[in-house]
Amino acid sequence: MRLTTLAWLTAGALSLSLPAAGQNPTMQTTPDDPHLWLEDVEGKEALDWVRARNAVSEKQLAGDPGFDALRTSLLEVLDSDARIPYVGKMGDFYYNFWRDKQNPQGVWRRTTLAEYRKDAPKWEVLLDIDALGKAEGVNWVWGGADCLRPDYDRCLVSLSRGGADATVTREFDVSDKAFVEGGFSRPEAKGQMGWIDLDTVYVGTDFGPGSMTSSGYPRIAKEWKRGTPMAEANVVFEGQDEDISIGAYRDDTPGYERDWVYRGLTFYTNELYLRGQDGGLTKLDLPDGAQKSAFREWLSVELRQPWTTGGREHAAGSLLAIRLDDFLKGDRDFDVLFAPTANTSLASSSVTKDHVLLNVLEDVKNRIYVLTPGEGGWKREPLVGAPAFGTVGVSAVDADESNDYFMTVTDYLTPTSLLMGTVGQAPAPLKQLPAFFDASQHEINQHFATSKDGTKVPYFMVSRKDLQLDGDNPTLLYGYGGFEVSLTPGYSAGVGRAWLADGGVYVVANIRGGGEYGPRWHQAALKENRNKAYEDFAAVAEDLIARKVTRPARLGMQGGSNGGLLMGNMTVMYPQLFGAVVCQVPLLDMQRYHKLLAGASWMAEYGDPDKPEEWAFLRKYSPYHNVGQDVDYPPVLFTTSTRDDRVHPGHARKMMARMEAQGHDVTYYENIEGGHGGAANNAQSAYMSALAYTFLKQKLFKDN
């Protein structure tokens, strides 16, 4: 139902390539910042600074007596052959990308459904990323593949150096298991390429000066013919510099082939155009703030704001549908597929051949419904066989040919199960993740804290069944609170092995800014109201302390990216509540975030610091500007990645430098590779996780 072909945009993924060593075109501004030089990502002086602090951190953390055992235990999980190999169907085959001990960078492979049902399927390896990297001398990281219907024999494969968002795209022949000599190829940049037909693609990338937006995304979409220079490709659409991104793509559903142009105005507003055979564009008359998508004969609209049309008012968070041909003729009588209530929101939707599967969050618990169009409208009924408990996900196996679906079921203590079913029949188990830790003595509870303004904020707590409410339990509080992202229960062997197994309590806060209760929950913490998210997180911490689950000296917190901004602000605003902080790939300098890599694309979330009236509220939640020398802050571990070209590593570097200069207890580790995820392979992931958990244990488990 959503524009999944443009998932790279909603993930905030596309930004400018990393500056070359010694270069940063924005460094001439804000000369009063003494740590500005640390924004020079790959500059020698900056990297020397990084390596010096890495050495200190490795001695403190990697030198801990329990570190090697913990890292080995975490890597054992990541490399385990018992993990579920999730697949996507194309034609007669089921495709999977897989990393393990023998293939640290991974292999792209496929199998048949009959084989996949077996405990040990036979896989046909199509592309070995480790071998490719060795042959080319580049640490390639898999970025996905777009394969051409109906044979799926030609694919556009994306790869990145060291896990960055910037990728290259190369044409790949599946039958030959080799890249096509002289085939379509896109140089390294933030962008994308997708098939129109065997000899034509849509491409958005860095075509040269002026071709990227200020956010670092493609500003121009082109139609490129095989055998011609990419620079001479036909321009399909050209956006403005202040837009977020432009993209063109083909919906190749048999019988419903259509071409679309997507214009991202801000992170939360967009325009959608239908491209005719003559190249002409028809803009769909829909709210800019809505998510728009076509599926078969239908047009769907997911609202972020209330909308009155066809004589009816529809609430924000609603999902509407209408036949596309009728809409283009002027009809505005939408069917309501979902309307939110006080405690429900739409988590996701998926389309099968004859149905729509709705995944609804009810107080952060999943409920799955099947919608079927008919003469009298849309019939709605629960999905047969969907569990009543646990986090449940559903997605179509092949929306064009069947009503089959995949279902995943999990929670914090229950190993994830993968099932396969057909609408109208109970699903059957396909794969089961083994128990990577003993959860028999643990339980999950949901609680609600009361925020400063009276809002009830849900949170999940995982603890031993015999937990003593004596205020002395080491507790880790995790949060995110942004971009309408919901945090739902999921099995984490890492949390289980590294934290729960040692008696720790694990808590996840569903604070405002997230999507747990739809757009209203997200929009309540936008821009000048950002403090609501921090008040919510503080309320959860205070509730844990009031219930005597823990006390400040035993309470740690962890978060990354926007969650790293959360960590920074909780540290400087509420230092008295916490005993340790793990702040990962964070935003921290809110005066310059929009000038660094993809930052400009997030101004709809945070605000524009170049506008005095907006900098007035942004400064209040800019940790870099609010940290002070004469405050007793909890110990902080900052981690980031040199290759993160989404959230600039300068945020973490500069915050570390400022707090270090002020004499605070701060630790720093920067992975030279890894991208925004912080790691480029399983070994790096295990190492980074082991650093974080070791730090938390050193601070929270000690006698204090």
Cα(240)–Cα(250) distance, rounded to whole angstroms?
A: 22
CA contacts within 13 A on the Cβ side of 76: 13
Say which of 214, 622, 676, 689 is annotated catalytic: 676
> In angstroms, what CA-CA distances link 688 with 71, 74, 585, 644?
9, 10, 12, 14
Cα(109)–Cα(94) distance, rounded to whole angstroms?
A: 9
Edge-first strand order for the sheet with 666-671 is 442-450, 456-464, 505-509, 475-478, 555-560, 580-584, 636-641, 666-671
Residue stretches of the chain with pLDDT short of 70: 1-31, 673-680, 704
In the numeric block, the tokens 């001695």 are attached to 59
Strand locations in 73-219, DSSP E? 88-90, 93-98, 107-111, 124-128, 140-147, 154-161, 167-173, 178-179, 185-189, 192-197, 200-204
pLDDT digits (tens, 9 = 90+) for 134-172: 999 999 999 999 999 999 999 999 999 988 889 999 999
Cα(419)–Cα(663) distance, rounded to whole angstroms?
A: 53
Q: 562-573 and 531-546 helices cross at what angle (nearest 10)?
A: 60
537 alpha carbon, distance to own chain's centre? 21
User: Which class for 62: exposed (0-12), middle (13-18), buried (19 or more C-beta within 10 A)?
Assistant: middle
The tokens of 373 are what?
A: 């169009």
pLDDT at res. 163: 82
> In angstroms, what CA-CA distances link 516 with 259, 445, 527, 602?
33, 17, 19, 20
- Ordered by start, the domain boundaries in the chain are 41-75+436-700, 343-434
pLDDT at res. 9: 31
Say which of 561, 622, 641, 689 is annotated catalytic: 561
561 is catalytic: yes
492 is catalytic: no
Which helix (DSSP H) or strand (DSSP E) does residue 478 occupy? strand 475-478
Q: Name the CATH superfamily, with its identifier, for domain 41-75+436-700.
A: Alpha/Beta hydrolase fold, catalytic domain (3.40.50.1820)
Strand locations in 632-700, DSSP E? 636-641, 666-671
In the numeric block, the tokens 């019939």 are attached to 379
* pTM of the model as a whole: 0.86
pLDDT at res. 7: 32
In the numeric block, the tokens 């890292």 are attached to 71
Which helix (DSSP H) or strand (DSSP E) does residue 134 occupy? helix 129-136
Distance between start and end Cα atoms, the chain: 52
